[in-house]
Each structure stands twice: as structure tokens, then as C-alpha cells.
Amino acid sequence: MKGKAWSGRFSKPTDKLVEQFTESISFDHRLIEEDILGSIAHARMLGKCGIIAQAEADAIVDGLESILQDVRSGKVELDPSAEDVHMNVERLLFEKIGETAGKLHTARSRNDQICLDIRLFLKHNLDTIINSLSNIQGVILDKAAEHAESIMPGFTHLQHAQPITLGHHLMAWFWMLERDKARLSDCARRVNVCPLGSGALAGTTLPIDREFVAKELGFESISENSIDAVSDRDFLSEFAAGSAILMTHLSRFAEEIIIWATQEFGFIELDDSVATGSSIMPQKKNPDVAELIRGKCARVIANTVNLLTVQKGLPLAYNRDLQEDKEPLFDTVDTVLGALEVFALMLARCTFNVERMREAAAEGFATATDLAEHLVRQGVPFRKAHEQVGKLIAWCIENGKSLTELTLDEIRRFAPNATEDVMKEITLESSVARRSSYGGTSPTEVRRQIEKARQILAGFTR
């Protein structure tokens, strides 16, 4: 094949500056395996339907399979002047089998071809991402089971709120990631649609078999409308948005690790293998992995905006603007997969300072709500109980006392309905153990969550 695939209508060669500006092979080369696999399925269909001779189809398939082997062994050099991955594959095929290669592009356009390539690429990588999510969830479950009874302070507004178990806190992240997995799994259903056969936008007059191609490539269905199939990238936007939510969850989790690793908190110790040091301060151990995950979240959010903005003003059907969809797609996939892999490693190797966590939970009147709820059980309206305990806390602050240091008489000065049982109910262990409402922080409930979560993971397949 010589010259451009579309050069017949043109009387002048493409200016070199235009070639440089419009080429996409510098990034869409990543789709070469998907492009070859799609072309193999297409060629088989052309032969099956009698659109080209079976011998020609066989020669094309043999040539493409040979090119695929060359790609996987690193023997292929791509030509930037061939514009994109599709034309590079076609050029390589011409070199392998000669003029018969010119029949491969029968009944298809680069418009439906690129849609096929990116759907195949995303199908594979969604499976990898979802499995990586499950891996992190498994690490969380192991840590949560280990610390189902480890007491720590729970926070609101980053202020001490109520005592909880570390296992309960970790399980909150499990369920967030479970929703991320569900979102991406749902997105995968909409990705799993074969667009090949849509042509440039109007289909083809040739007797193709779209269902055959879809089955060959493992798609669940074929697209219903040829214009829609080649012109929309909502499935990429959906993937990017789901990834942005996932990365936001990882970023928040990473932020907690960063805070907990400070000397001021001292809740967590990062393993030396997943931390870095300072070039000038010998004593430093920096949570760079967590910080980079937090920072890379911004890339994925930006990629979501990028993809939406590219599409927002496009008339139907295909426009060259859509060439700009691939770099944010590739960057999102790379960033998410990298973050998931290193986050799992960092979390698996960390250790929690449960003594320091319990010590912190004892500070700041964390069982004040337990005292208020004790009064409610004695018939005191909650608002009244809240006021009485608030005044008691203010008195404790003025007199340098904690709740557990008070006598029953001191409590009754502000909360006359308190009974002798109150002294047992405002301990950390009692506070945590008695919060056994469904989804609560008691060790019993945490273990129930963990068991249910393990069943979910065991039953999950992609």
C-alpha cells in the first residue's frame, strides 16, 4: 500500500506539519493488539458471508496472526506517516500478503474500527481494575478481622466524636470500594457492545454478519444504531467518572493514612519498603505513596472533565475531535491500575498502634453520648439529657477531670436521674460493645460485616 488510504480524491500531498498535528500513532499504538484481533474477526466474517473469497479471508487471517506474533515479540516498527494504528496494521499486512490485504477494509470504516478497538481495550482493563479492587478489599478484610476489637476514636470534623473499633472503621472503606466495583461492573455491561458493522455512520449495503463478529470477540450484544455507535463516547465518560469516584475514595483513605502516620497521631506505622526518606533530614519517613495516590486522583478527575468537554459540542456523527478520547482513557487506566496495586501493597504491610489508638479514644469525653443515652433510658427527654451532659462536660473541663474519673454523686449534680449502672456504661469497652445496632461498631457487628463481605468476595466473578 502506497500513500494515504484516502489519497485518491486529493491532488496535493499532505503538508508535513499537518501530518504531525493529526497523527495519532504516537498514542493509539497501544491499541494494536485490539485492532489486529478485531480485524481477524472481521476477515473471518467476510469469508463466511462470501463477501470475499474464503482463500482470501484465510490469507488475511494468517497474515494478521503473524503480525500479532511479531507485535508480541517486539519485532514491529510502526510508521508515523501512516497516521494511526489502523493504517499501520494494514500497511504491515500489505507487506506480509500483498494486494489481498486491500480487501480487509471491506464493509467497515475507521470510525467503527476505532470504536471497536477502544471497547475491546476497556473490556479487558475493566476486568483487571475490578479484580484489583477485590484484592484491596481482601487486604481490608484481613486487617479488619485482626482489629475487630481494637478501640480507636471515631471522628467528625476531625474532632474526637465517639469510640469505635478499628475494624469498623476499615470496613467503611470496604463498602465504599464495593460500590466502586459495582459501578464499574455496571459500566462494563455498556462497554460490552460491538459497534463493528456500523461503517462510517450508515451501515453497509454488503451482507455482513454482525452477530458473528460480536461472538468471535466476546461481546454480549451489537449496537442498535450505526450513528450512535460511531459518534458517542459516553461509555468512556462513564468509566472515567466511575474511576474518578474510585480514586476519590482511595485519596480519602490515603489522607487518613498520611494523618495517622504523623507523630501527633501515631496510629499507623508504614513499612520501610513502602515509604521514602528525605535527602537532607535523616530522621524522616515520608508517606509518599499515599501522597501520590492523593495527587493522582486529580488526574483522573481531570480526565473525566476532558472526555466530557471533548464531546459537549459535537454534532452527529463522527468528528475528528474524538481522536482526543484516547489519551485520557489510557491515562485513567494506567493511573487507576497503578494506584490500586501500590495501595494494596502499602496497606498490607502497615501496622497499627492499637495502644496509642485506645489512649487517644480515652481523650476528649468520647463517651458523652453514652451518658446521654443512659439518661434517655431513665425517661429523660434526649434534648434535656443532652443539655445536662453538656453542662457536666463543661464542669469537667474547668476542673480537669475525665468522665471515668467522676463519682456518681458528681454526675448526679448535673444529671439527677443517673443510676449506678452509668459508671459501667461510660467505659470505652462498654460504649463500643453496646453499639450493636445493625451496621454498628460493636465487635459482634464488625464480625458480621466481615463474614458478609467475605461471602460477597467469594461469590464475585467477572
What local confidence, expressed as pLDDT, does residue 10 receive? 66
What local confidence, expressed as pLDDT, does residue 461 receive? 56
What local confidence, expressed as pLDDT, does residue 140 receive? 98
What local confidence, expressed as pLDDT, does residue 147 receive? 98
Residue closest to 195 by CA, chosen among 162, 224, 169, 165: 224
Catalytic residues: 157, 278
3-class DSSP string for the chain: CCCCCCHHHCCCCCCHHHHHHHCCHHHHHHHHHHHHHHHHHHHHHHHHCCCCCHHHHHHHHHHHHHHHHHHHCCCCCCCHHHCCHHHHHHHHHHHHHHHHHHHCCCCCCHHHHHHHHHHHHHHHHHHHHHHHHHHHHHHHHHHHHHCCCCEEEEEECCEEEEEEEHHHHHHHHHHHHHHHHHHHHHHHHHHCEECCCCCCCCCCCCCCCHHHHHHHHCCCEECCCHHHHHHCCHHHHHHHHHHHHHHHHHHHHHHHHHHHCCCCCCCEECCHHHCECCCCCCCCCECHHHHHHHHHHHHHHHHHHHHHHHHCCCCCCCCHHHHHHHHHHHHHHHHHHHHHHHHHHHHHHCEECHHHHHHHHCCCCCCHHHHHHHHHHCCCCHHHHHHHHHHHHHHHHHHCCCHHHCCHHHHHCCCCCCCCCHHHHCCHHHHHHHCCCCCCCCHHHHHHHHHHHHHHHHHCCC
User: What b-and-e string marks burial along 327-356, b requiring 16 or more CB atoms within 10 Å of the CB?
Assistant: bbbbbbbebbeebbeebbbbbbebebbbee
CB distance 150 to 167 below 8 Å: yes
CB distance 417 to 380 below 8 Å: yes
What local confidence, expressed as pLDDT, does residue 49 receive? 98
Q: Is 365 left (phi over 0), alpha (psi -120 to 50) or beta?
A: left
pLDDT (tens digit, 0 to 9) for every residue of the chain, 462 residues total?
Answer: 556 665 666 667 777 888 778 788 899 999 999 999 999 999 999 999 999 999 999 999 999 999 999 999 999 999 888 889 999 999 999 999 999 999 999 999 999 999 999 999 999 999 999 999 999 999 999 999 999 999 999 999 999 999 999 999 999 999 999 999 999 999 999 999 999 999 999 999 999 999 999 999 999 999 999 999 999 999 999 999 999 999 999 999 999 999 999 999 999 999 999 999 888 988 889 999 999 999 999 999 999 999 999 999 999 999 999 999 999 999 999 999 999 999 999 999 999 999 999 999 998 888 899 899 999 999 999 999 999 999 999 999 999 988 888 999 999 999 999 999 999 989 999 999 999 999 999 999 999 999 999 999 998 655
What local confidence, expressed as pLDDT, does residue 8 receive? 60
CATH T-level topology, domain 111-356: Fumarase C; Chain A, domain 2 (1.20.200)
What local confidence, expressed as pLDDT, does residue 278 receive? 86
Class of domain 368-426: mainly alpha
Class of domain 7-106: mainly alpha
Q: Where exactly are the structural domains of the chain?
A: 7-106, 111-356, 368-426
Asked, colleague to colleague, whether 7-106 and 368-426 share their fold, the answer is: no
